[in-house]
Amino acid sequence: MEFSAKQIAEYIQGTIVGDENATVHTFAKIEEGIPGALSFLSNPKYTHFIYETQSSIVLVNKDFTPEHEVKATLIKVENAYESLAKLMTLYEMSKPKKTGIDPLASISPSAKIGQNVYIGPFACIEDGAEIGDNTYIHPQVTVGAHAQVGENSILYPQVTVYHDCRVGNNCIIHAGAVIGADGFGFAPSPEGYEKIPQIGITIIEDNVEIGANTCVDRATMGATVVHKGAKLDNLIQLAHNVEVGSHTVMASQVGVAGSAKIGEWCMFGGQVGVAGHIKVGDHVNVGAQSGIPGNTKSGSTLMGYPAIEPKLFARSSAIFKKLPEMYTELNRLQKEIEELKKQLNK
Residue 206 has pLDDT above 80, yes or no: yes
Q: Report the C-alpha gap between 21 and 2 in whole angstroms.
A: 11
Question: What pLDDT does 335 receive?
Answer: 93
Average pLDDT over residues 46-73: 96
Burial string for 175-185 (b: 16+ CB within 10 Å, else e) reads bbbbbbbbbeb
* pLDDT tens-place string over residues 24-57: 999 999 999 999 999 999 999 999 999 999 999 9
User: Is 174 marked active-site?
Assistant: no
What whole-number percentage of the chain has pLDDT above 90? Answer: 89
Q: How confident is the model at residue 316 (pLDDT cuts 50, 70, 90)?
A: confident
DSSP string, 286-309: E-TT-EE-S-B-TT-EEBTTTTB-
Residues 218-264 pLDDT 10s: 999 999 999 999 999 999 999 999 999 999 999 999 999 999 999 99
pLDDT of residue 80: 96
Backbone angles phi, psi at 266, to 5 degrees: -85, 160
Catalytic residue among 240, 247, 277, 283: 240
Q: Would you say residue 318 has pLDDT above 90?
A: no
- pLDDT at residue 101 above 90? yes
Cα–Cα dist 88/94, whole Å: 10
Q: How far apart are CA 25 and CA 7, in angstroms?
A: 13
Average model confidence (pLDDT) across the chain: 95
CA 292 to each of CA 104, 273, 298, 301, 311: distance values in angstroms, whole numbers, following the listed order: 47, 6, 14, 12, 17
Instruction: Tell me: pLDDT of 308 over 90.
Output: no
Residues 6+ apart with CB under 8 A from 162: 144, 147, 178, 179, 180, 181, 202, 218
pLDDT at 90 over 90: no
pLDDT at res. 95 = 80
The angle subtended at Cα 51 by Cα 49 and Cα 54, nearest 5°, is 80
Residue 121 has pLDDT above 80, yes or no: yes
Q: Which amino acid is at 79?
A: N
Vertex 237 angle, CA 282 and 196, to 5°: 105
In the chain, % of residues over pLDDT 70? 100
Cα-based distances in Å from 287 to 18, 155, 313? 42, 30, 11
